[in-house]
Amino acid sequence: MRALRMLLLPLLALAAAWSHGQAQVFLRQRQASITREPTKTAQIECVFEGMSGADFQTLYVHWYRHLPSRPPEWILRIHTGQIHYENDSYKNKYSSSKKSPNICTFTINDINPNDEGTYYCAYWQNHRTSKHIKIFGSGTKLIVSSKGNSPPANSEILKKEHENQITYVCLVEKFYPEVIRVTWTNEKNEEVTDNVVKGDTWKATKNEEYSIGSWLTVPLENKDKKYYCKYEHESQELSLPTQDFSSKTAPQEEDCNTSGNSTVFNRDHIIHRTAYLVYIVLLLKSSMYYLIVLFFIYRMWAVTKHQGKKA
């Protein structure tokens, strides 16, 4: 019995390692967006990280298209070179192929504005003890435009110390199109997600240029540690270190810090100012209600007085 247990232990460890390896498969679509002119062709890549080449070649890979406020639309699946389409009319429009060792490509032909949307790769993951789960890639947005793309005109990190913490502000300015991925990593190249706030992109100018900001807050005792702000745009990828000499320190007393063409606002002061403005609006509304009540009271008093004089 003991010998049987000794034999089972390595098998269980191997099975656990195999299932763990299966769980670690990650679908990464390298391009956050692709900008193409009408009638051109676009190709999207999906990388199956953590999967062996043999398993990848026998895998069913699916491709979807998603539009805002609509469910994802299944387009096709590819398996060992054979493609099955949701609709026969898609055969001239879309195609897919597998490249060694673990890359699946999706091609869109003869692009027109109706082809805009976000395209996702996906596959069914088998957990054996549970139901199948569909794993999706990070998505690639297709933008149909003759404008092309342009890299950020400026990118920098600003630092602000407040009490027992440090806030790093990563500012990326004036890029096109608006699709961009911004992440924070530590010295071990591990993604940092705690105490990270990512702002929405905003249009910086009238020339269809966009900007974005992301905040990372860490304890003051981590001031000697290096963090990186990484942005991925179809025109450029860059990683900015927090301890780089080009990083600027935000003034402690300023409500609004300006550096070059960039403007970074202190979030606490924005919240306070917003609350103050809301208070003023509510006060004005209360004053209006008060004046309306006084007006009706005056009208009633005037009518009563007028009737008294007639009597």
Encode pLDDT of 18-60 as tens digits: 334 445 788 999 899 999 999 999 999 999 998 887 889 889 9
The confidence score (pLDDT) of residue 139 equals 96
- Give the pLDDT of residue 291: 72
Which position has the token pair 């192929």?
97
Cα–Cα distance, 95 to 182 (Å, whole number):
30
The pairing of beta strand 33-36 with beta strand 140-144? parallel
The confidence score (pLDDT) of residue 240 equals: 94
Q: Give me 255's structure tokens.
A: 């409500």
User: Is 0.75 topped by the overall pTM?
Assistant: no
pLDDT at 297: 75
| pLDDT at position 290 | 62
Q: Which of the 8 DSSP states describes residue 239?
A: E
So what's the pLDDT on residue 25? Answer: 83
Q: How many CA atoms lie within 13 A of 291 on its CB side?
A: 6
Beta strand spans in 14-102 (E): 26-29, 33-36, 42-49, 61-66, 73-79, 82-85, 94-99
Residue ranges in the chain modelled with pLDDT below 70: 1-23, 126-131, 244-290, 293, 301, 303-311
Task: Say which amino acid occupies 139.
Answer: G
The region, left, alpha or beta by phi > 0 then psi within -120 to 50, assigned to residue 50 is: left
pLDDT of res. 206: 75
